Amino acid sequence: MSLSLSDFDYHLPPERIAQTPLPDRAASRLLVLQGESIADSTVRTLPDWLQAGDLLVLNDSRVIHARLFGAKSTGGQVEVLVERIVGDCEVLAMLRASKTPRDGSTLMLDGGIGATVLGRAGEFFHLRFDGDALELIERHGRLPLPPYIERAADIVDETRYQTVYAREPGSVAAPTAGLHFDQPLLDAVRIRGVELAYVTLHVGAGTFQPVRVENLDEHVMHREWWVVPQATVDAVNATRARGGRVVAVGTTALRALESAASDGGLRAGSAETALFVRPGYRFRVIDALMTNFHLPKSTLLMLVSALAGIDPIRRAYQHAIDAGYRFFSYGDAMLILPQPDSKALANFAGDTP
């Protein structure tokens, strides 16, 4: 399939970008896309769109206080956005400074944290903190909000930019489809007869990096760390056996599951993934997806187009814009369901897409 970056562009009025969360997590609107059909609903009605025997898979990664400010030893200001913790005291991070710091130089960050520049790892800097990295980040860092939210994080974001089931620290951006869930909605899903399972995928800052090439074959995906436990593999297999559907909550849960099945049947494990899901990809595990609305020309827009089709996604996004839906991290949601008579999309034969 010959596709280019411009095939995934659309015009979004700036006022459609949600800058703050709604007071009620599950009050967001829900656009339901099923084949060619579009329905307007709310997230609170999600159980009505699911079936007894389905499996909802959620990403339990927790957002860390990954943004730190400080100065270089020469006095110049520096901003650090931790991408990943790679050891007890070491991280990979993006740095913003007037002049690139040299290897071996020292940064003095928020809370008196000293950080030594060990070198480069691709686009990231390898830093060693003078103490436990996660502990120092959580104590002195700031919650990182996406670049399209034009304000600093406040006390409300400390709660609302986390899912209610977040437990594994490591993300620098929230798995945003999960932000719509509160405990009453999770309870309602279970009462419906839908089971819950969890994966972990730590969202990296690369998720916000633009695709810089028109030819998608030349795009290099950012890498993210995933964990799929055996309990989730067992839950997926049980769902298949009873004829239920596997519904990923968020593109991160989808990428974790599909990465864990990249060389055949779904297997428990953990690894880095650079999986690039775009039209033409053959899904092995998931049947349906709940997700937020994604940026123009983004790999996540390509991912949802791979699942639902390019033209249906274009029509759904235009419908959402015309109908006043709120976009991106704090915005509304979309539920992509298979056609009522379609077979499961997953294929455990391990064919290469």
CATH number, domain containing residue 21: 3.40.1780.10
Neighbours of 75 (CB within 10 A): 7
The answer as to whether 347 is a domain residue is no
Give the DSSP letter string of 222-256: --EEEEE-HHHHHHHHHHHHTT--EEEESHHHHHH
The answer as to whether 147 is a domain residue is no
**Same domain assignment for residues 219 and 77:** no
The answer as to whether 342 is a domain residue is no
Q: Distance (Å, rounded) from C-alpha 145 to C-alpha 239?
A: 36
- Residues 289 and 336 sit within 8 Å (Cβ to Cβ): yes
Give the model's pLDDT for residue 351: 33
pTM beyond 0.75: the answer is yes
Q: What is the pLDDT of residues 84-125, one digit of tens each?
A: 999 999 999 999 998 999 999 999 999 999 999 999 988 899
**Same domain assignment for residues 190 and 303:** yes
The answer as to whether 197 is a domain residue is yes
The pLDDT of 148-158, averaged and rounded, is: 96
Q: What is the pLDDT of residues 12-52, one digit of tens each?
A: 999 999 999 999 999 999 999 999 999 999 999 999 999 99
**Same domain assignment for residues 189 and 170:** yes
The answer as to whether 56 is a domain residue is yes
Range of the domain at 110: 67-140
Helix (H/G/I), strand (E/B), else coil: 95 = strand
CATH number, domain containing residue 115: 2.40.10.240
Give the model's pLDDT for residue 103: 95
Count of domains forming the chain: 2
Q: What band does 353 get if pLDDT is binned at 50, 70 and 90?
A: very low
Q: What is the pLDDT of residues 300-351, one digit of tens each?
A: 999 999 999 999 999 999 999 999 999 999 999 999 999 875 443 443 333 3
